[in-house]
Structure 1
Amino acid sequence: MTAPHQLLAVHGLYAITDPHLTPDDRLLPAAEAALFGGARLLQYRDKTASQDQRRRRASQLRGLCHEYDALFIVNDDPVLAAEVGADGVHIGQSDGGIAAARALLGDQRIIGVTCHGDLALARSAADAGADYLAMGRFFASRTKPQAPPAAITSLEQACREFHLPVVAIGGVNADNAPQLIQAGAASVAVIEALFGHSDPADIEAAARRISALF
């Protein structure tokens, strides 16, 4: 199992980068603004950059996160997560599975799994050893408009049923996050409401608004 201090840290604002909103020249300033504003986890998500570029940026982001005592998570790539010493990886339903990620990362790293709004997927992920469950999308999302919608009742049930942190994702902002937190979400994952701002000062302010909800 993951170290208890890490599990407890899957809480609060979870910032996720996006290659369109945080292109290479803006990535580090945007990420630091979110961390300075209170993000407790940061996920590096970029499926378009070269492997060398992703390795370099992931290493830089890991160092930045640890300066702010935040967790650094790599999206969809357990190999990269292992190479750069990330705190964990977030995988989807078609990214090789929990067992393969655990074999690469060991027991002390976090593995989060996308479960959409499907409690059966969440149950399978929990049984397979996931450290957190990501549920959503709960609201309209410009970043992932095709993601299947999820009902807040599924979030409530997941939070009741599983003894794991549940991360709520999908169109989350400071105005709608309170209902997800009230439903039991340990963390809310945010992309557009943070990194849709071009000015780092606005990213920081948005992060502070959401972080203050916890």
Structure 2
Amino acid sequence: MTPERDSRLRGLYFITPAVSAGADPRATHLENSRAALRGGARLIQFRDKTLPNDAREAIARELVALAHAHGALCIINDDTELAARVEADGVHLGRDDPDPVAARARLGPCAVVGVSCYNELKRAEAAVRAGANYVAFGTMFASPTKPEAAYAGPELIRRARAALDLPICGIGGIAADNAAEVVAAGADLVAVIQGISAAPDPEAAARQISELFD
């Protein structure tokens, strides 16, 4: 059974960027997230695949507190156990991660479980049957984060919107200058990484995208 549609799953969804060589991981994740939240982000996803477990957990705890202080949600990428330990709002799962049923069993009925569906509508339909709260399609545009990613495009958002009754997220190459096309196609969420973190003014970029949902 699909969980009841969560009205909080709408707006700008900021995903923390990869940490540059020599940069402070804590500052990278927290400062970019703070700017995104000040600009109106409704969800933050902590994504880091390189830090030791104790450092990841410490930063995740700070991000949960930061997001909640702004009335937003904090989602953990891939790691259901980390999400449980830091009492995050949920987890985002990719192709090689635990399935939504297992994540739901670990995190409880109130957790947000999101699933990457790439350019595959059938994968999204299966995720809905497994109890996902939202599904994400991408890449919408050429993505500097994942240049090898399969193309989905806003047209797939339109098809998914007609077929699915749960929040839909577009991801991949989205920035302030093209997010409107994804929102117009029917996306409830737009997930952004470098479109905010690499912007000259990250808070202003976040605000420009957030205002598309007003």
The interval holding the TM-score normalised by the smaller chain is over 0.9
- Give the match for residue 166 of structure 1: 168
- Provide the rounded CA distance (Å) in 1 between the counterparts of 2:83 and 2:117: 20
Give 1:146 shift: 1.2
- Please tell me whether the aligned partners of residues 14 and 188 of structure 1 are also in contact (alpha carbons under 8 angstroms): yes
- Give the match for residue 51 of structure 1: 53
2:118 to 111, 116, 119: 116
2:150 to 148, 151, 155: 148
Q: Which amino acid aligns with 1:9?
A: R
What residue ranges of structure 1 are gaps of 5+ in the alignment? none
Q: 1:3-14 to 2 correspondence within 5 Å?
A: 7-14=6-13
Counting aligned pairs with the same residue, the percent is 46
For 2:140, what is the secondary structure of its paired residue?
coil
Q: Which amino acid aligns with 1:204?
A: E
| Cα pair distance change 1:91/1:74, threshold 3 Å | same
- Give the match for residue 208 of structure 2: 209
What residue ranges of structure 2 are gaps of 5+ in the alignment? none
What is the number of equivalent residue pairs in this alignment? 209
- Provide the rounded CA distance (Å) in 2 between the counterparts of 1:161 and 1:150: 16
Give 1:3 shift: 6.3
- Please tell me whether the aligned partners of residues 117 and 155 of structure 1 are also in contact (alpha carbons under 8 angstroms): no
Question: Taking structure 2 as the reference length, what is the TM-score of the superposition?
Answer: 0.93
Indicate the larger mover: 146-155 or 22-31.
22-31
Q: 1:23-172 to 2 correspondence within 5 Å?
A: 23-172=25-174
Q: Which amino acid aligns with 1:76?
A: D
Give 1:152 shift: 2.3
Question: Taking structure 1 as the reference length, what is the TM-score of the superposition?
Answer: 0.93
- Please tell me whether the aligned partners of residues 19 and 28 of structure 2 are also in contact (alpha carbons under 8 angstroms): no
- Provide the rounded CA distance (Å) in 2 between the counterparts of 1:2 and 1:154: 23
- Please tell me whether the aligned partners of residues 45 and 75 of structure 1 are also in contact (alpha carbons under 8 angstroms): yes
- Provide the rounded CA distance (Å) in 2 between the counterparts of 1:118 and 1:53: 34
- Please tell me whether the aligned partners of residues 167 and 187 of structure 2 are also in contact (alpha carbons under 8 angstroms): yes
For 1:212, what is the secondary structure of its paired residue?
helix
- Provide the rounded CA distance (Å) in 2 between the counterparts of 1:18 and 1:92: 17
- Provide the rounded CA distance (Å) in 1 between the counterparts of 2:172 and 2:28: 23
Q: Which amino acid aligns with 2:13?
A: Y
